[in-house]
């Protein structure tokens, strides 16, 4: 589905285009074309390949989707193909979308897949600053990546807040199983964000130092800002992952302690009833020579002795913390 197809000249909007007009405007000097698609079909991608003369391998990746975040160069840096993941949290679940960005000397084509998040604000931002969009495709690529990366921060904040909530209840009795389930869910979400961020750190780093692709030369400083954000997010994710791992170990230890306490209680009660059973077993043997059998107060005395022995054991176990 076509969202926008606009030509710019000297940083200012020139005209809204039909798809068939793209190649004509690309031939005009100082003209820059920016096209945005959503959930593009194979036919639409093929049409874009013809209009922009895109590399067939990049088009194939965009068609198949589900690509690892990356930035690839074609034609010695004259064109780029970037893949960035769009992350969205709904009802405690993170969904993963994708933005495929084709960048050339005088064009940018973005294809958004499997995501309800729109990037219209990026175009509005660029159009408000003609001197920046006049830098060409490199700045538009930066603006798109910056908009996507900035949307990772609320996800990190939400995960950190939920982790703090779990930590507040980590020693509550009877909450160990629930806490472990929530921690594993947090760990899974952290890894989803990690898979979106970690590959981009290295990829964007190539746009800030060393041999920078020609289409991004004028925007090197801006990509350094994106790299800084990615580095911060990556460090936060590592810290959260370590904290989640520690919290899981603490929760498992709490489960072991609770089980130990239960075992102590069972052992204490078993010891008390064992004494009572031993006395009852002795007096239940019914030998004729047993003096207690003919004594009128034998039965009450036997019960009193059993109760006294069990009471002594009960208070000893109570003092030891077993009951």
233 found inside a domain: no
13 found inside a domain: yes
Strands 79-90 and 2-9: unpaired
> How many CB atoms sit inside 10 A of residue 179's CB?
23
> For the ranges 30-44, 63-77, 99-113, 280-294, which has the lowest average pLDDT?
280-294
Per-residue confidence (pLDDT) for residue 321, from 0 to 100: 79
pLDDT tens sequence across 255-312 = 887 778 788 888 888 888 888 888 787 777 766 667 666 777 777 877 888 888 888 8
312 found inside a domain: yes
Residue 146's pLDDT band, with cuts at 50, 70 and 90, is: very high
Per-residue confidence (pLDDT) for residue 102, from 0 to 100: 95
75 found inside a domain: yes
Sheet containing 70-74: which strands, arranged edge to edge? Answer: 12-16, 2-9, 31-38, 107-113, 93-104, 79-90, 70-74
pLDDT tens sequence across 154-209 = 999 999 999 999 989 888 887 888 888 999 999 999 999 999 999 999 999 989 88
Per-residue confidence (pLDDT) for residue 43, from 0 to 100: 92
Q: Is residue 7 a contact partner of residue 31, using CB atoms and an 8 Å limit?
A: yes
Which of 90, 110, 130 is the last residue before a domain boundary? 130
pLDDT tens sequence across 80-131 = 999 999 999 887 789 999 999 999 989 999 999 988 888 888 888 888 888 8
CA distance 234 to 185: 19
Which of 130, 149, 181 is the last residue before a domain boundary? 130
CA distance 40 to 51: 15
Q: What is the domain-level CATH number for residue 33? A: 3.30.460.20
Nearest Cα residue to 151 out of 223, 84, 62, 69: 84
206 found inside a domain: no
Residue 157 has φ and ψ, to the nearest 5°, of: -60, -40
State mean pLDDT over 16-22.
89
State mean pLDDT over 61-89.
89
- Domain of 70 in residue numbering reads as 1-130
Which of 104, 130, 156 is the last residue before a domain boundary? 130
State mean pLDDT over 137-159.
93
146 found inside a domain: no
DSSP 172: S
172 found inside a domain: no
CA distance 319 to 58: 74
Tally of domains in the chain: 2
∠ CA 185-190-191, nearest 5°, is 100
113 found inside a domain: yes
Whether the predicted pLDDT of 218 surpasses 70: yes
pTM for this structure? Answer: 0.80
> How many CB atoms sit inside 10 A of residue 83's CB?
23
Residue 147's pLDDT band, with cuts at 50, 70 and 90, is: very high
Q: Is residue 155 a contact partner of residue 191, using CB atoms and an 8 Å limit?
A: no
């Amino acid at each position: 589905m076509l969202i926008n197809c606009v030509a710019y000249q000297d940083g200012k909007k020139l005209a809204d285009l039909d798809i068939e007009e793209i190649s004509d405007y690309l031939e005009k000097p100082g003209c820059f074309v920016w096209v945005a698609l959503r959930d593009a079909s194979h036919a639409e991608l093929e049409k874009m390949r013809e209009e922009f003369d895109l590399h067939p391998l990049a088009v194939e990746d965009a068609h198949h989707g589900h690509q690892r975040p990356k930035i690839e160069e074609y034609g010695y840096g004259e064109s780029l193909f970037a893949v960035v993941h769009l992350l969205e949290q709904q009802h405690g679940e993170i969904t993963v979308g994708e933005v495929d960005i084709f960048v050339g000397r005088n064009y940018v084509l973005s294809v958004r897949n499997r995501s309800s998040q729109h990037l219209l604000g990026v175009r509005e931002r660029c159009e408000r600053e003609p001197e920046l969009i006049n830098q060409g495709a490199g700045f538009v690529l930066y603006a798109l990546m910056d908009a996507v990366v900035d949307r990772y921060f609320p996800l990190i904040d939400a995960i950190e807040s939920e982790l703090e909530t779990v930590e507040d209840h980590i020693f509550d009795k009877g909450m160990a199983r629930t806490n472990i389930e929530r921690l594993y869910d947090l760990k899974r979400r952290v890894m989803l964000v990690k898979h979106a961020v970690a590959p981009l750190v290295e990829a964007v780093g190539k746009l800030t130092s060393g041999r920078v692709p020609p289409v991004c030369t004028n925007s090197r400083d801006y990509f350094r800002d994106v790299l800084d954000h990615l580095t911060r997010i990556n460090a936060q994710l590592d810290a959260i992952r370590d904290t989640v791992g520690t919290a899981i170990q603490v929760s498992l230890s709490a489960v072991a302690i609770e089980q130990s306490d239960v075992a102590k209680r069972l052992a204490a009660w078993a010891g008390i009833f064992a004494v009572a059973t031993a006395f009852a077993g002795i007096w239940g043997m019914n030998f004729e020579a047993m003096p207690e059998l003919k004594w009128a107060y034998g039965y009450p005395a036997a019960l009193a002795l059993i109760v006294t022995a069990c009471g002594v054991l009960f208070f000893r176990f109570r003092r030891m913390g077993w009951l």
